[in-house]
Amino acid sequence: MNLALAGQARSSNNATADSADSNTQMAHLQVAAGILLDAVGRVLISERLCDGPFNGLWEFPGGKIAADETAEQALSRELAEEIGVEVTASSPFMSLRHEYSDRTVEIDFFLIRDWQSEPVGREGQRLRWIDVNHLDASELLPADVPVVAAIKTLWRNSVSD
């Protein structure tokens, strides 16, 4: 598999730079997210259940990085809690920064090609396996959109090798 994109892609989305008051301190979150990619080219996405404006959108599973853990540790913990899998092999894929109106999120995405247990929505969320070629960025959280093109490029390169 050609992992030329892994670890190289960096993206910055600035959705609200003009709308944020420079005197207002926005929340800053560090997040780790997993891209579970199976051998036939399907990616796992998880339904977002929340009270906010992104309820019902889809995302790559993961969550906040605690102060006392690395991104890799947070990824393993979050995926065990959210979807019941144990990550057995992961590699950095890309990192990005996205500004929402009320917070800035920095996300470290990891490509996961090996895990134990079948993923299940342990928090009541639905899960879907989507063929990489049919992954639709408009269904995902705004911060996840740049990842879609990178995943598609990675998959195209890996099947042509």
Contact 63, 82 (CB under 8 A): yes
Torsions phi, psi for 82 (to 5 deg)? -80, -45
Domain count, the chain: 1
Task: Give pLDDT tens digits for 134-153.
Answer: 999 999 999 899 999 999 99
Mean pLDDT score of the chain: 85
Question: Does residue 4 lie in a domain region?
Answer: no
- For residue 144, the Cα-to-chain-centroid distance in whole angstroms is 6
pTM: 0.82
Give Rg (Cα) of the chain: 15
Domain with residue 43: its CATH number is: 3.90.79.10
The DSSP string of 81-147 is: HHH--EEEEEEEEEEEEEE-SSEEEEEEEEEEEEEES----TTS--EEEEEGGG--GGGB-GGGHHH
Predicted local distance difference test score (pLDDT) of residue 75: 97
Query: Which residue range is the domain that position 110 belongs to?
Result: 9-16+26-160
Question: Does residue 113 lie in a domain region?
Answer: yes
Task: Give pLDDT tens digits for 2-15.
Answer: 333 333 343 334 43
Question: Does residue 3 lie in a domain region?
Answer: no
Task: Give pLDDT tens digits for 103-136.
Answer: 899 999 999 999 999 999 999 999 999 999 999 9
Phi-psi region of 105 (alpha: psi -120 to 50; beta: other; left: phi over 0): beta
Predicted local distance difference test score (pLDDT) of residue 38: 94
Question: Does residue 89 lie in a domain region?
Answer: yes
Predicted local distance difference test score (pLDDT) of residue 106: 96
Question: Does residue 1 lie in a domain region?
Answer: no
Question: Does residue 2 lie in a domain region?
Answer: no
Question: Does residue 52 lie in a domain region?
Answer: yes
